[in-house]
C-alpha cells in the first residue's frame, strides 16, 4: 500500500509503479507476448509436455485424416503391452511385402523369411514409415487364427487405448494410416495427446529421435542381411532441440507432422495436419512456444536419394 503523499507526487509514484509492473510482466513471458504464428496447416496444436497446457491451437478439435502418423499409436500399443520383449524374433511373411506392393505404400523393404526383432520392426515402422513393418507388428501383437483376424484385433487395441486416453475425436480402422473407408481420423489436440503419451516410453523416444538405423537379421537361408533405414522426419537435424516424432502423407490427409523438441528444461509436443509447409509450420510453432526466432534461418536436413518419403 502506498502511503499518503501530496497529489502530484503520489500520482507519479503510482504511474512509475504501474510501468515497472508492466515491464516485469513483459519480461516474464516473451513467448506469450508474441503474436501467434500463421501456419499453412488446416489444423495445428502444441502442448507443454510436462504440464499438458495448451501453447497453440488452430481448429484443434476438427476431425481429420492422419495418414502415417497413425503409426505413433501402433508403436505405443506394442510398447505398452505387458511383458513386451523387444528382442522377440518375428519371421517376415510374404503377405507383408504383397500388402505394400498392392497399396504402393512406404516400406522398410522387409524380406520374406528374415527373422527380425520387435525392436527392429519399431524402427522400420517409425523411420522409413514402413507399412510392412507396421503390418508385422499388428499381426504379431493381435490375436486370432488369420492375418486379418489378428490385425483387426490389434486395431481394436488401438481404439481401446484411445478410449483409455479419453480421446473422443479419434478412431482407427488401420494399423498404418491406409484407410479404405476413411474411418481413420483424429484431431490436432487428440494426436498431440497420443504423442505425449507415447513419449513417456524411453524406447519410443529412442526410436523417434534417430535420423537413421542400421541393423542385421538372419535370412531364411542361414545368411545375414543388413537393413538401413532413414528417418523421413526432416525436422530432426534441422531444428535445434528436435527429438521426433513422425511424418504422414495421404491424398485425403495431406502432409502431416507430429513433432517434439526440447530446449532447456522445456519440451513441447505439436501437430500439424494437412500442412503443405509442415516443417516451416512446426518450426514457427516451436519458436512461438520457446520464445525464439530460428524458423526463418532453418535449413532442412537432406534425405539420402534412396530414403523413403512420407
Q: Which residues are catalytic?
A: 68, 71, 129
Angle between helices 71-79 and 188-198 (to 10 degrees): 30
Task: Answer positive or negative: Cα dihedral of 159, 161, 185, 236.
Answer: negative
Strand, coil or helix: what is 88?
coil
Answer yes or no: are the C-beta atoms of 45 and 54 closer than 8 Å: yes
Alpha-carbon distance of 126 to 130, in angstroms, equals: 7
Alpha-carbon distance of 187 to 146, in angstroms, equals: 32
Which distant-in-sequence residues (6+ apart) come within 8 Å of 199 by Cβ? Answer: 49, 205, 208, 244, 245, 260, 269
Alpha-carbon distance of 292 to 277, in angstroms, equals: 19
Answer yes or no: are the C-beta atoms of 279 and 261 closer than 8 Å: no
Q: Tell me the residue length of the chain.
A: 310
Strand, coil or helix: what is 54?
strand
* H or E segment to which residue 267 belongs: strand 266-273
- Buried/exposed code over 153-166 (b: 16+ C-beta within 10 A; e: otherwise): ebbebbbebbeeee
Closest CA to 163 of 60, 84, 58, 73: 73
Amino acid at each position: 500500500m502506498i502511503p499518503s503523499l501530496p497529489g502530484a507526487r503520489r500520482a507519479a509514484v503510482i504511474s512509475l509503479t504501474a510501468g515497472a509492473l508492466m515491464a516485469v510482466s513483459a519480461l516474464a513471458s516473451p513467448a506469450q507476448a508474441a503474436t501467434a504464428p500463421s501456419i499453412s496447416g488446416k489444423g495445428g496444436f502444441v502442448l507443454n509436455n510436462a504440464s499438458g497446457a495448451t501453447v497453440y491451437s488452430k481448429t484443434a478439435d476438427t476431425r481429420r485424416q492422419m495418414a502415417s502418423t497413425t503409426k505413433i499409436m501402433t508403436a505405443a500399443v506394442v510398447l505398452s503391452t505387458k511383458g513386451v520383449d523387444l528382442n522377440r524374433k518375428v519371421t517376415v511373411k510374404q503377405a507383408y511385402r504383397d500388402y505394400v506392393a498392392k497399396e504402393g505404400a512406404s516400406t522398410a523393404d522387409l524380406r520374406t523369411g528374415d527373422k527380425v526383432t520387435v525392436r527392429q520392426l519399431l524402427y522400420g515402422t517409425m523411420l522409413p514409415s514402413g507399412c510392412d513393418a507396421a503390418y508385422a507388428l499388428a499381426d504379431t501383437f493381435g490375436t486370432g487364427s488369420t492375418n486379418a483376424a489378428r490385425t483387426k484385433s490389434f486395431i481394436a487395441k488401438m481404439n481401446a487405448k484411445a478410449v483409455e486416453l479419453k480421446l473422443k475425436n479419434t478412431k482407427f480402422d488401420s494399423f498404418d494410416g491406409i484407410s479404405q473407408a476413411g474411418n481413420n481420423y483424429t484431431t490436432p489436440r487428440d494426436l498431440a495427446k497420443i504423442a505425449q503419451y507415447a513419449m513417456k516410453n524411453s524406447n519410443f523416444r529412442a526410436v523417434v529421435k534417430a535420423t537413421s538405423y542400421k541393423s542385421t537379421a538372419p535370412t531364411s537361408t542361414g545368411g545375414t542381411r543388413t537393413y538401413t533405414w532413414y528417418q523421413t522426419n526432416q525436422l530432426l537435424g534441422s531444428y535445434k532441440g528436435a527429438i521426433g516424432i513422425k511424418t504422414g502423407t495421404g491424398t485425403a490427409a495431406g502432409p502431416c507432422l507430429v513433432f517434439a523438441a526440447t530446449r532447456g528444461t522445456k519440451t513441447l509436443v505439436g501437430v500439424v495436419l494437412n500442412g503443405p509447409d509442415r516443417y516451416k509450420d512446426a518450426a514457427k510453432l516451436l519458436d512461438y512456444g520457446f520464445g525464439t526466432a530460428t524458423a526463418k534461418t532453418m535449413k532442412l536436413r537432406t534425405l539420402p536419394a534412396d530414403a523413403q518419403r512420407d
